[in-house]
Amino acid sequence: MRLSIDAFLDYGFPEPADVLLQIEAAALPDQWLEAQSLVIESDHPIRAVMGEEGIGQRTWATAEHRLVAHYRAVVDIRRATPPLAALPHTPAGLLPPQTIPYLLPSRYCESHRFDHFLRRSFGGLRGGDLAVALSEWVRSNIDYDGVGSDGRSSALDTFAERRGVCRDFAHLLVALARAGEIPARCVAAYAPGVEPPDFHAVVELWLGGAWHLVDPTGMAHADEIARVCVGRDATDIAFMTIFGSAWLQQQRVSVTRLLD
């Protein structure tokens, strides 16, 4: 699967502020960057730094009055997608060290609050079988609706409200998976078919000795998702973190499939 990506950001600033951008698709073994460019209109130097887990990169910029960023890329995705249900469970004590942070509660993923719900609703399921059941539960029980959701909504809020946007779906699945002893992390991504078109948030689950992509909204398939970065929750994967205040002037994201 080859994707064409076009993302444009235009924000205004009442006073100078540092801005951390994460909008570039990551170069990884299962997704190749055929071409890409990031143009940032700024009178100040910009600086690239590595993303979490060494996946992707962040870009520091200083915004004064206005910040405009335009990212374009062509990404070739060649990713095996084995059935999740066939993947075995790994006991917590045998997990690789790098997966441990993704087994613990985090700011927006209060996995410790879902223990009773997991035991009552999914008792007896482990590994891939549990992952499939949790993904289907989130997809079936949460409505895609931005009303009532904001940057402060957590997995517990989404569980109570039964609605949210992609980051809320991702937070809830991550929290449920962690409660079921499956390491889970949030992933910022680009994907075709997302409605409304925007930066997208999905999930990676550690099963059978590897990370596997899952879109709990059901809008994107694992073999057509271009990862940008990964993290414990939305704190780590935000496409833009502003150390100050700003207002949105224009933002658009377009992701289209290319014919080979």
Q: Nearest 5°: phi and psi at 145?
A: -160, 125
On average, the pLDDT of the chain sits at: 95
DSSP state of 160: H
Q: How confident is the model at residue 181 (pLDDT cuts 50, 70, 90)?
A: very high
C-beta of residue 134 within 8 angstroms of C-beta of residue 176? yes
What is the average per-residue pLDDT within 6-31? 97
The reported pLDDT for the residue numbered 149 is 77
> Is the domain of 138 the same as that of 211?
yes
What is the average per-residue pLDDT within 152-180? 96
Number of domains in the chain: 2
> Is the domain of 94 the same as that of 217?
yes
156 — alpha (psi -120 to 50), left (phi > 0) or beta? alpha
What is the average per-residue pLDDT within 69-78? 98
Q: How many whole angstroms separate alpha carbon 188 and alpha carbon 230?
A: 6
> Is the domain of 40 the same as that of 100?
no
> Is the domain of 101 the same as that of 159?
yes
Range(s) of the domain holding residue 24: 2-78+240-258
Instruction: Report the predicted TM-score, pTM, of the whole model to 2 decimal places.
Output: 0.95
Q: Positive or negative, the Cα torsion across 177, 182, 186, 189?
A: negative
What is the average per-residue pLDDT within 179-191? 98
> Is the domain of 66 the same as that of 103?
no
The reported pLDDT for the residue numbered 146 is 77
Q: How many whole angstroms separate alpha carbon 185 and alpha carbon 175?
A: 9
> Is the domain of 31 the same as that of 92?
no
Given a cut of 80, is residue 148 above it in pLDDT? no
CA-based end-to-end distance of the chain: 8
Q: Tokens 């910040």 label which residue?
A: 67
List, for residues 210-219, the tens digit of each pLDDT value. Answer: 999 999 999 9
The reported pLDDT for the residue numbered 259 is 80
The count of other CB atoms within 10 Å of the CB of residue 160 is 10
The reported pLDDT for the residue numbered 42 is 84
> Is the domain of 110 the same as that of 92?
yes
CATH number where 42 lies? 2.60.40.2250
CATH number where 153 lies? 3.10.620.30
C-beta of residue 55 within 8 angstroms of C-beta of residue 229? yes
DSSP 31-91: EEEEEEEEEEE-SS--EEEE-GGG-SEEEEEEEBSEEEEEEEEEEEE------GGGSPP--
> Is the domain of 189 the same as that of 149?
yes
> Is the domain of 100 the same as that of 144?
yes
The reported pLDDT for the residue numbered 150 is 78
> Is the domain of 57 the same as that of 173?
no
> Is the domain of 146 the same as that of 62?
no
List, for residues 197-209, the tens digit of each pLDDT value. Answer: 999 999 999 999 9
> Is the domain of 202 the same as that of 113?
yes
Q: Tokens 């496409």 label which residue?
A: 239
Q: How confident is the model at residue 79 (pLDDT cuts 50, 70, 90)?
A: very high
The reported pLDDT for the residue numbered 189 is 98
The reported pLDDT for the residue numbered 147 is 75
